[in-house]
Amino acid sequence: MHHALHIKNGIVIDPKNGVKAEKMDIFVKDGKIVEESEVKGEDVKVIDASNKLVVAGGVDMHAHIAGSKINTGRTMRPEEMRVVRNIANKFRAAVGRVLLTSPAIGYEYAKMGYTSSFEAAQPPIGAMHTHEELDAIPMIDKAALPVFGNWHFVFKYVEAKDIEKLKTFIAWALERTKGFGVKVVNPGGVEAWMYGGNVTSLDDQVPGFNVTPREIITSLIKAVEELKLNHSVHLHCNRLGVPGNYETTIETIKLAGGFSNDARQVLHVTHVQFNAYAGDSWRTVSSGAEEIAKTMNSMDNVTIDMGQPIFGHATAMTGDAPFQFTLHKLTGARWSNKDSEVEGGAGIVPLVYLPKNPVHALQWAIGLELGLLIDSDKVVLTTDYPNGGPFTEYPYVMAMLMSKKMREGELEKVSPFVQKATNLPAIDTEKTLEEIIHMTRSLPARILGLPQKGHLGVGADADIAIYDLNPLEIDTSNDFEKVYKAFKTAEYTIKSGRILAKNGELVDECWGKTYWVDATGRVDMEAIKPDLEDYFKYYSVELQNYGVEEEWLKKPERIVI
């Protein structure tokens, strides 16, 4: 085991530090990026990266990689488990086509040059299970976002306009679940679903509570900003998957207008493709991406991610139970529904995106429109794994955003419906390699509030990917096949200074950290004790048995606010 690394002659793109394809050497010691002087006289392993692209490891800020939903999805699709992945003999069995087993998730990310991934919707009562599963994923750093948008405690404090208690509750919940931030799924709508309904606007009343989605969202933003959490509210909008929902999305984005934060956004709106439909039915549906892009580009405190669909197999699973039932009705596919006590609910429906299906082709086109039309400093590349498709197809999305020629070829294969229902065929924008690296590295790290991730500056975590691509020579617009192939398999993936993968072969296994955010020092935990005791009468577990202790985690990393 070498103590240090010297990556020599690579061509570095590091947007956070303003490095635009420069020949540079990178030095690594004790899992961090250091100055050259730090490795003098050490036993240094040299990697020759001549004519190769050297970037930070990829950061997936929104994926469903652990917890009850993906397990139910695996159970519902036994056929998924017939696909055995190619791994070196010394590692554990890696199985799955899209719904990968836990080891496979870590291995596939590593082969692709990704080194961090964030579980995007964690039912709080299932936190112990989620962490067991995160602990079974090798190679990457990770964290989980517990869901708050339909939790009765949240309704109670929002209704009472008690921001202090809401803040205290958030701090309590993050500590108990060892969670990373505040996720909100269809606020109020999932609660309405318990009574057979949903919400149709930001101003619908939530059954049983005198609150609206608008109030839930703005109160949570206020609480998160006052707590100074490193990540903002992470929101899955109301009316997901409903034609005409782009108007609700725009209205929701504008709610951030009253808040400011110099360090980062105050609202991250996730998998916006599913919330960008115009029209009033599936017959008249079209893209609302251009309008959303106009709103996004005019504001500087909101970010989004794409939720790009990929043709082929996917499994829709979200904490948005009513949407999944609608999807089941639309497709006739298998359906499972989950109800998580007084916290929320979820649904799961297996599906396949077909290029010739007009609606699927529309969804595919809208994801790309969002990625192309929105300023690269505000949109992150995601597929909302596994809802839009496998994260292993990020390289396809990267190449598509950089090449109009590739998009033209792909447009010929899909339903002609997209020609009239979207603007994709007319968009000439081609993202630069630098923008794509930003959208997959430095931007998600900034949005999550992780200053040590997503860049190659001194002091950063030594999470590094080297690709067989020379940024000074490649014509990303025309050589899209080469771009796709290069990003699909990193020549080297280095995690915390250890070489994990080499040309698609795994050479080492490591266990990443699980980040969690501790804001308990900013609140008085006693203030909500009577409320907790009162509400836990409705739970199946006792208050003192609720939650996860830090020592139960394999490699916890506490971020103290």
CB 480 within 8 A of CB 403: yes
Q: What is the pTM of this model?
A: 0.97
pLDDT in tens, 258-272: 999 999 999 999 999
**How many angstroms separate the CA atoms of 156 and 531, rounded?**
10
What is the average per-residue pLDDT within 249-259? 97
Torsion sign across C-alpha atoms 352, 355, 359, 365: positive
Residue-level pLDDT at 351: 87
Q: Once rounded to an integer, what is the mean pLDDT over residues 228-252?
A: 97
CB 383 within 8 A of CB 353: no
Whether the Cβ atoms of residue 127 and residue 178 lie closer than 8 Å to each other: yes
Tokens 């039309």 belong to 373
Q: Is the dihedral of CA 377, 515, 119, 522 positive or negative?
A: negative
Q: What mean pLDDT comes out for the span 292-315?
A: 96
pLDDT value for 88: 61
pLDDT at 64: 97
Q: Are 159 and 296 in contact (CB under 8 A)?
A: no
Spatial distance between the Cα atoms of 108 and 554, rounded to a whole number of angstroms: 21
Residue 432 burial (CB count, 10 A): 17
Residues 6+ apart with CB under 8 A from 459: 32, 33, 452
More confident residue, 400 or 333: 400
Q: How confident is the model at residue 461 (pLDDT cuts 50, 70, 90)?
A: very high
* Rg of the chain (C-alpha set): 22
Tokens of 239: 């009316």
Tokens (6 digits) for 465 = 């990917």
Can you list the domains of the chain with their CATH numbers?
Answer: 4-56+454-506 (2.30.40.10), 115-134+142-448 (3.20.20)
Q: How far apart are CA 351 and CA 427, in angstroms?
A: 29
Read off the pLDDT of each residue in 202-231 and give the average, rounded to a whole number: 98
Residue 117 has pLDDT above 80, yes or no: yes
Residue 1 has pLDDT above 60, yes or no: no
Q: What per-residue confidence (pLDDT) applies to 321?
A: 87
Res 350 pLDDT > 90: no
Confidence of residue 81 (pLDDT cuts 50, 70, 90): confident
Confidence of residue 82 (pLDDT cuts 50, 70, 90): confident
> Which amino acid type is present at position 368?
L
Over 80: is that where the pLDDT of 86 sits?
no
- The structure tokens 């992780």 sit at 450
Amino acid at 223: A
Positive or negative: CA dihedral 321, 323, 329, 332: negative
SS3 119: strand
Is it the case that residue 2 has pLDDT exceeding 70?
no
Q: Is the dihedral of CA 89, 93, 95, 99 positive or negative?
A: negative
Would the pLDDT of 364 be above 90?
yes
Q: How far apart are CA 485 and CA 468, in angstroms?
A: 9
Mean pLDDT of the chain: 95
Which of 18-32, 70-84, 456-470 shows the lowest mean pLDDT across its residues? 70-84
The Cα 232–Cα 485 span in angstroms is: 34
Q: Phi then psi for 227, rounded to 5 degrees?
A: -70, -20
Q: Rounded to whole angstroms, how far apart are CA atoms 216 and 149?
A: 7
Residues 6+ apart with CB under 8 A from 525: 168, 171, 172
Residues 6+ apart with CB under 8 A from 409: none
Phi (first) and psi of residue 304, to 5 degrees: -135, 170
- Range 149-178 average pLDDT: 98
Confidence of residue 132 (pLDDT cuts 50, 70, 90): very high
In tens, the pLDDT along 519-528 reads: 999 999 999 9
With beta carbons less than 8 A apart as the criterion, state whether 270 and 305 touch: yes
Q: Where are the alpha helices (DSSP H) in 63-146?
A: 68-76, 102-112, 127-134
3-state DSSP assignment of residue 307: coil
What are 304's strand-pairing partners?
269, 379
pLDDT at residue 449, as a whole number: 98
Share of the chain above pLDDT 70, in %: 99
